[in-house]
Structure 1
């Protein structure tokens, strides 16, 4: 019963950690660390939620969830379930398995939908875009509105409009390219995918939508930081101000844009952050990461340990 109690405890703890992260502005000071914390929170929510149902349902076996499931499957195949397994236990087990299947289905569906969107986008770009004369990984689309976005994948491409080229100075354009390249190199699309799948699985959950939005903003801030390594932060901030002041062309679904999906509030936060660089001590980041990994790994271990 120890692992049952633990799952019951870690679920509200993870939910509370989500609430704290949503309200905290500390996360903006260290986006990479905060993204790892968000991934740990998401993993803990899923593992503890499913683990609670399965641990309660399989409690008569007095094993970890995975060994208990193996024993349950063997007993069910033989038609010899333990007498201690009541209909309530069976219902909870079915709910846990159904939730697992639903989340797996949402993840696969999200991945396939994004892949299809990107395939169509690549096909369209092959018809209407032209290579940038200097930047080999950039494609130019004839359109007066400003836009710049990354089409992620194994063959990542950066798309800019002629409106953006007319608007930005040479240094600003380089900073924007560096931002988009950061998205491609760090595969931020894969960082966002599990959160998007979780939102697809539970579209009515406002907290999960807020978590997805928070992670999306941190991804943009992380790309800002990478771009600022080789470019002046104020140059990138100026480019974002120019984007903010002009008519922006929304980035297509399945892409990562410098400004395409940002609310005005989020864009203002990024500009202010670039103008005043935040600082967080390395020991604090390491401590938070260790704490997050511990919280996330404990429910996983309890799927296996016979407690």
Structure 2
């Protein structure tokens, strides 16, 4: 009955060490897309550790679960896990982990529902302020220009995605700056960044006492912006993209001495102007492959006793 404990320890170790290692590394600034992938693999590994530990603990606690989980396995495999020697804590562990799984699903459903309600509200506001012309059909590639005094641009995801820009932004931005802003927003849409934001927010809100989930949420909000900045800068240049960010956020206190909710904008501008060099393709491939192996480790730990018994 050591495998469920080993999985929990592995999950705790991954949750504690991975954020610290990523925080000390300098390559996420240079390769935000790879960093997004690494963070997803780390969180998937933590969740997988909990899920596998829950399954084995439940199998140790209840014969019905054990029979269903190990039905196709030979008896020598079942004996290798020593499930019958588990103490009374196995049922408690299984129940606690199952409750956490149910709570995670509930938080994700709540997050999706709240995001959907917000999108519907914003879409209704857009229809009120900029109704479709007679005979006009909504299209995903349709650019909606909204009368407003503040320069802004955003992508509204959903079943009928909408790219919106204000008239103030059109007045402030040059042609290439406008193209860079639109490329940035389309980069969010093509990468489906809103799903990453929803998932990370659901975990962080559901488990505020778990630091790795809070770090996951914060890094997702940061890295998706850096990744979209790179999409725009590769097409229209770093200087053009940086100037577009300045023009859009100059009146929001993003560049002042005091921290504001828009402080990330200043960091993004500095990053674009500093032009950090990208990693080599081989280095990116190694990081991607290494991250993909992280969720495999809990699976190997869970299967080691059975594979050893069969071998």
Fold similarity call, TM over 0.5: yes
Instruction: Give 1:1-307 correspondences, 5 Å limit.
Output: 1=1, 3-4=3-4, 5-56=6-57, 58-59=59-60, 68=66, 70-71=68-69, 84=85, 86-129=87-130, 137-247=142-252, 263-278=261-276, 279-300=278-299, 307=306
Distance 2:86 2:18 in 1: 34
Secondary structure at the aligned position of 2:101 is classed as helix
Q: Which moved more, 1:33-42 or 1:194-203?
A: 194-203
C-alpha deviation, 1:27, in angstroms: 0.7
C-alpha deviation, 1:107, in angstroms: 1.3
Give the TM-score normalised by structure 1.
0.80
Give ranges in structure 2 of 5+ residues lacking alignment.
Answer: 72-82, 133-139, 255-259, 307-311
Secondary structure at the aligned position of 2:46 is classed as helix
RMSD (CA atoms)? 3.1
C-alpha deviation, 1:274, in angstroms: 1.5
Secondary structure at the aligned position of 1:144 is classed as coil
Distance 2:292 2:141 in 1: 39
Contact 1:130 1:140 in 2 (8 A): no
Aligned length: 281
Contact 2:16 2:212 in 1 (8 A): no
C-alpha deviation, 1:95, in angstroms: 0.9
Give ranges in structure 1 of 5+ residues lacking alignment.
Answer: 74-81, 250-261
Distance 2:303 2:105 in 1: 20
Give the TM-score normalised by structure 2.
0.79
Cα deviations by residue, 1:217-250 (Å, 9 ceiling, x for unpaired):
110111111112321221110011222322389x
Cα deviations by residue, 1:167-193 (Å, 9 ceiling, x for unpaired):
211211111011001111111111222
